[in-house]
Amino acid sequence: MNEQKKILIIDDEQTIVDILKRRFERLGFTVFSEYDGATAIEVLKKEMIDLVVCDVKMPNGISGSDVLKAAQTHNPTSQFVAMSGHLDSHESVESIMKDGASVFIKKPFPSLTEVTQQIASLIA
């Protein structure tokens, strides 16, 4: 069943994207990965994504909130996981959760296994 599920991972930190991509591919998901919000939105316009995992704060003027809005428009049934490693982004986290994110995960991850299981359970 997982091979039909599609996950989009967006983070400006390549290491985070690479680690999560490998984990979810091993679990049988189809994984798209992007490093900025603009290209992520293009993927959301072209693909039916089941789950979006997105950093809240990203460069180039397109935030996690912008990606969430695009996901709600183009993939209204997708789940959205917000991530952030910035302690000063409390308002952004509160706002994105209020706007419809399913889960918030703090970086660095306390346990990669637990985080992977928590995210995967949203679409399993």
Domains detected in the chain: 2-121 (3.40.50.2300)
Determine the Cα–Cα distance for residues 44 and 22; give it in Å rounded to an integer: 20
Q: What is the SS3 assignment for 42-78?
A: HHHHHCCCCEEEEECCCCCCCCHHHHHHHHHHHCCCC
Distance of CA 11 to the CA centre of its chain: 8
100 near 70, Cβ under 8 Å?
no
- Which of 45-49, 52-56, 83-87 is predicted least confidently? 83-87
Model's pTM, two decimal places? 0.92
Strand duo 51-55 + 103-106: pairing: unpaired
- pLDDT for residue 28 is more than 90: yes
Residue 18 tokens, joined = 């690479």
Q: Which pLDDT score, from 0 to 100, does residue 96 have?
A: 86
Mean pLDDT of 20-31: 96
106 near 82, Cβ under 8 Å?
no
93 near 56, Cβ under 8 Å?
yes
With cut-offs at 50, 70 and 90, classify the pLDDT of residue 82: very high
